[in-house]
Amino acid sequence: MSKTVQLLPDEFIPYGNIGSFWQIPKALAENEYLSPGAKLLYGVLVGLVSKRGTAWPKKETLQKYLGNPSVKTLYRWQRELVDAQLLRVHQKGRGLPNNYYLLRHPLLENTYTGQFDGTPRYVYTDPVTGERTLKTQKECWGEFFPVLNEWLEQQKTERTPMPKPHWRYDQKDYREVKKNYEDLVQLTVENGPATTPKSTFDSFRVHEEMFNELALLSGHKK
């Protein structure tokens, strides 16, 4: 039997006596690696997403709900949640609000068996069918390197812009790959396909080795 406490006139029981509020999961609040601002942003997004599965608040709306932090601070909190694999942000275009999706996570005890191994997942959009699927960074690059190699072959006869990845790739990784491929194209233009050593082409087509090298730079390698 619970004990009844005699309250003073200015004291109250929270249950049923507070207006609207945001909810932060206990496990998230206890996490020592996330900043208080990131935790509060998560609580706001939990309330906005609710049963719809997504929310698309403007940054001005989020700033209002969070005590008017700067845009830079708001994006830093958002990046914390994205890096922790608690949040996915879909950017719809310049001037349009982002779509926010909450992700299943062991911290929240809502993942399926075998679903989460700690490897970041990215939304990969098939360039032909437009189908969106979840893939690891390694799987995304594995899909993209054949596209780059096809483009590389075309450069022997016609110069065209280098294709861009169909997922929210790491900019550092892409710049590294782009530089390597463009250097190879320049070498081919200067020396001609016939005089460019075959080993040079082959060295740029070893997908696994190239990915592992890039993964070490960006911290994606397991």
Convert the pLDDT of each residue in 65-92 to its tens digit: 999 999 999 999 998 898 888 898 888 8
Instruction: Describe the crossing of helices 71-83 and 36-49 by its angle, rounded to 10 degrees.
Output: 80
Contact of 62 with 74, CB cutoff 8 Å? yes
Q: What is the pLDDT of residues 24-74, one digit of tens each?
A: 999 999 988 889 999 999 999 999 997 788 999 999 999 999 999 999 999
**Three-class DSSP labels, 69-89:** CCHHHHHHHHHHHHHCCCEEE
Output the pTM of the full model: 0.57
Residue 59 and residue 74 in contact, taking contact as beta carbons nearer than 8 Å:
yes
CATH topology classification for 1-112? Arc Repressor Mutant, subunit A (1.10.10)
Q: Could you give the CA distance from residue 144 to residue 167 in angstroms, rounded to a whole number?
A: 10
Q: For residues 182 and 148, is the Cβ–Cβ distance under 8 A?
A: no
CA 46, 50, 56 angle in degrees (round to 5)? 75
Q: Where would I find the H helices in the chain?
A: 26-30, 36-49, 59-65, 71-83, 137-154, 171-191, 198-203, 207-218
pLDDT band at 135 (very low <50, low <70, confident <90, very high): confident
Contact between residue 126 and residue 133 where contact means Cβ atoms under 8 Å apart: yes
> Which tokens belong to 112?
């399926």
